[in-house]
Amino acid sequence: MKILYLGDFDPRQTSRHVGEALQRLGHTLEVRDPAAELGMKTQSRWLGALHYRSGYRLLQPRVLRWVRSLDLAAIRPDVVWVDGGDLLGRAALRVLKRAGAPVVLRSNDDPTGPRDARRFATLRRALPEYDLVAVHARERVPQAEYRAFGVERVLPIVMGYDEVHHRPFETRDAIDPALRSQVAFVGTWIPGDARDDFVCRLLELGVPVTVWGNNWHKAPRWAEVKPHWRGPALSGRDYVGALQGAELVLGLLSHGNRDGHTQRSNEVPYCGGLLCAERSGEHLSMFRDGEEAVFWTDADDCAAQCKRLLADDALRARIRAAGMRRVRANRVGNEDVARLILETLADAGKPAPSPFEPRLPAAAASH
């Protein structure tokens, strides 16, 4: 199958990983990176903030000219795959549909949610133009919310791992000592999520937390976090090394983004880390609590779980091994998700699953 793939193809991005997964499945990709070709990656920080806060509305005349410049007749795609979709407005989607191929959107974000509403203004108006919208599954998002934006077919998808990019090191001894830690949190500081308060509470309770990620210098309690911050966002083998090289890895949810699980929920156990994450219905459907991962309700509970795990090498080893087996059995890698999206798109006569019933792995069925 020939796929016109519109998405960020930076090697560090999940969209690149998904595109490569499609190629591993045997599909041919014609890759066009809208942000790069429109000069978004080299623009000033001020201009980037303006477009972000205006929902890319001011950019739409340029986007439309760019889409019209694509030689769709020569490309002749079987599918048009839009990954992210922030920049593409309704008029641009209508031009893409002239190729005569179905158009699918895959998004790891929450475009209909309240947290980043301004950012997704253009995308939300364009949603009815897609033949299928595949979005991060959220158990608390009602079906009516999608219908209100004119979406006919929604496929809730699990945020998974990449079979190649997140493969574990042969042994944990092969990991750079600079990437090893006892309790790791690998993630961005997000305004409103009080992640610095959470980390500081763990530190107060004696949990040896190490932090990697961007924007922590903006946190109100940066002075307290700074001694435990080891650097900005990780990518590639360093990212895998930090997850696999920690005795356990914290999984914090973004409530502003209505998360019930995140990308790391599956990446951590896939690459050989021990997931110690916030308890949610989605997490409990993915892993057996205390056997394949460990879940907590608040910072104090998290601290108690961390101390218990750090004191028991054998228990950590059992949970780590069981988590690795479970995440592979759940089949939520990029190749699995890409295959599901294309199968659902091809089966146009069958309605996509309801957003009330996300396609989460049925690990809990055997509890």
Q: pLDDT-derived band of residue 366, with 50, 70 and 90 as boundaries? A: very low
- Give the pLDDT of residue 140: 61
Residue 340 has pLDDT above 60, yes or no: yes
Among 56, 36, 182, residue whose Cα is nearest residue 121: 56
* Whether 34 contacts 87, CB under 8 Å: yes
Any idea where the domains of the chain sit in the sequence? Answer: 2-158+333-361, 172-330
Q: pLDDT-derived band of residue 349, with 50, 70 and 90 as boundaries? A: low
CATH 3.40.50.2000 fits 2-158+333-361, yes or no: yes
Q: pLDDT-derived band of residue 352, with 50, 70 and 90 as boundaries? A: low
Question: Hunting for tokens 């477009």 — which residue is that?
Answer: 51
Q: How far apart are CA 92 and CA 126, in angstroms?
A: 9
Q: How far apart are CA 257 and CA 280, in angstroms?
A: 14
Q: What is the pLDDT of residues 318-335, one digit of tens each?
A: 999 999 999 999 999 999
Helices (H), the chain: 14-24, 34-37, 45-53, 60-69, 72-75, 90-96, 121-126, 143-148, 195-204, 222-225, 236-245, 263-270, 281-286, 299-310, 313-330, 334-346
Question: Hunting for tokens 């960020």 — which residue is that?
Answer: 8
Identify the CATH homologous superfamily for domain 172-330. Answer: Glycogen Phosphorylase B; (3.40.50.2000)
Asked if the domains at 2-158+333-361 and 172-330 fall in one CATH topology, the answer is yes
Q: Tell which phi-psi region holds residue 158, choosing left (phi > 0), alpha (psi between -120 and 50) or beta.
A: beta
- Give the pLDDT of residue 113: 79
Q: What is the pLDDT of residues 239-289, one digit of tens each?
A: 999 999 999 999 999 887 788 899 999 999 999 999 999 999 999 999 999
Q: In this structure, what DSSP letter does residue 91 have?
A: H
Among 10, 11, 20, 4, residue whose Cα is nearest residue 338: 20
